[in-house]
Amino acid sequence: MTETTRILQPKPWISGIAPYVPGKSAGADGRPLVKLSANENPLGTGEKARAAFRAAADDLARYPDPGAAALREAIAAKYDLDPARVIYGTGSDELLHLATSAYAGPGDEVLYVRYGFAVYEIAARRVGATPVEAPDCDYATDVDALLAAVTDKTRVVFVANPNNPTGTLSSRADIARLHAGLPADVLFVLDQAYAEYLEADEDDDGLALAETAANVFVTRTFSKIHGLAAERIGWGYASSEVISALHKIRAPFNVTRCGQEAAIAAIGDDDFVNQSRAQNAEWRSWLKAELESLGNHGVRVVPSATNFLLVLFEGKVTAEAMNNALMEAGYIVRWLPSQGLPHALRMTIGTEDETRGLAAAIRAALEG
């Protein structure tokens, strides 16, 4: 009689996942550092959202509105959308996972560009689908390469526009061309986590595309410009067919009461959003110019439409050495060897003081 030993094991596609690495906020010795590693709003949260959050915190015993009706109405009113087709998630992260779970499974392919957002690979592997990376074009999304990588097995295509961690923006024409080239049975997920940082003429028109196309899912977040990363709220827009599929598998109470109230206030606070966009634009172009003046040290800045810069270190001082020097100086940025970018650091635009301090520390490490 043979005895087989039975060992508890996760599914093989789960074992194959390399977990998401969040941005750090403290050095190895526990010393708090200026955190420029997670693309959070350096101005914090608007006063209106903070007040709404505090008011809602008096009533914690009851479940939140499972349909987030007031939040959907507020979002729909702001962007002239159908509130019935707005979905919400525990961060837009949840929505990216829902989209993959609903439309892909074992044997299917999930496609995105090299140097795409790290969650796409995890979302694909989590459902047993095969992640497929199309080549980039000098760190930017290459629409032709994506289209060339589409096969009969492709079920979901992810594009972040602008993209993280590269910061690059695809034009409205490129996004339209990509959508036009995709088969009708492929879900096109257009991740617009940084859309609110764009100038009006940079808008890729994704929401208008989602308004009419049956296979486009646009996602947004309250974590970035709205300064509500702690509350974990994202939203998305698609055809009613896509939205009803996603509702079947979202967690029943996936957005908290305080989060819903804070988000409603945040989306109505144009002053805070405009102030945040302007502050970011000013210090992003300042930091970019500072770093470009260090080009003789092999420093290169990838063009960015976001609240961060991807900076390449191709000279004597490597990205790893610079990362260590910056930590020594009290700044934590994002070194990305696990995303195929061992030669790059992603730096969130901070306050004026933080950005000036960061630039001085970089200069000192290169020239010192």
Ligand X SMILES: *Cc1c(COP(=O)(O)O)cnc(C)c1O
Residue 92 lies near ligand X (rule: CB under 6 A): yes
State which residue, 20 or 253, has the beta carbon closest to ligand X: 20
Per CB under 6 A, does 121 bind ligand X?
A: no
Residue 169 CB, nearest distance to ligand X (Å)?
A: 12
- Which region, judged by CB under 6 A, interacts with ligand X, from 3-11, 90-98, 316-324, 352-360? 90-98
**Residue 299 or 347 with smaller CB distance to ligand X:** 347
160 touches ligand X by CB under 6 A: yes
The structure tokens listed for 146 are 């994506």
Cβ atoms of residues 323 and 361 within 8 Å: no
Q: Which residues pair with 332 in a beta bridge?
A: 35
- Region from 17-25, 86-94, 128-136, 359-367 binding ligand X, contact rule CB under 6 A: 86-94
Residue closer to ligand X, measured from CB, 115 or 117: 117
Q: How many angstroms separate the Cα of 14 from the Cα of each of 93, 133, 227, 250?
A: 18, 19, 32, 20
Nearest one of 195, 201, 202 to 224, comparing CA atoms: 195
Closest residue to ligand X, judged by C-beta, is 91
Binding track, positions 231-260, relative to ligand X; x by CB under 6 A: ---x--------------------------
> Tokens 């270190």 identify what position?
313
Indicate which single residue of 145, 147, 229, 325 sits in contact with ligand X (rule: CB under 6 A).
229
Provide the strand spans (E) within the chain.
34-35, 86-90, 109-113, 130-134, 154-160, 187-191, 216-221, 233-237, 299-301, 308-313, 331-332, 334-336, 341-348
Q: Binding ligand X by CB under 6 A: which of 88, 112, 117, 217?
A: 117
Minimum CB distance to ligand X smaller for 218 or for 294: 218
Extended strands (E) in 124-237: 130-134, 154-160, 187-191, 216-221, 233-237
- What minimum distance in Å lies between the beta carbon of 188 and ligand X? 15
Shortest spacing between CB 331 and ligand X, in angstroms: 20
Residue closer to ligand X, measured from CB, 117 or 313 = 117
Query: Quick check: bond before 10 cis, omega within 30?
Result: no
We find the least distance from the C-beta atom of residue 306 to ligand X, in angstroms, to be 8
Estimate the crossing angle of helix 257-267 against helix 47-56, to 10 degrees. Answer: 150
CB atoms within 10 A of CB 53: 23
Q: Compute the least distance from the CB of residue 192 to ligand X, in Å.
A: 8
By the 8 A CB rule, do 120 and 157 touch? no
The Cα-based distances of 287 to 64, 221, 273, 300, 322 in angstroms read: 42, 25, 21, 12, 16
Tokens of 228: 């509500």
Which parts of 192-221 interact with ligand X (CB under 6 A)?
A: 193, 221
Taking 3-state DSSP, the helix, strand and coil percentages for the chain, each rounded to the nearest 5, stand at: 45, 20, 40
Instruction: Name the pairing type of β-strands 334-336 and 86-90.
Output: unpaired
Tell me, by CB under 6 A, how many residues bind ligand X: 14
**Using CB under 6 A, which of 191, 211, 261, 290 touches ligand X?**
191
Under rule CB under 6 A, which residues in 262-281 are in contact with ligand X?
Answer: none
Of these, 37, 45, 154, 164, which contacts ligand X (CB under 6 A)? 164
Among 40, 93, 261, 290, binds ligand X (CB under 6 A): 93
Please identify, using beta-carbon distances, which residue of 37 and 215 lies nearer to ligand X.
37
Binding site for ligand X (CB under 6 A): 39, 91-93, 117, 160, 164, 191, 193, 221, 223-224, 229, 234
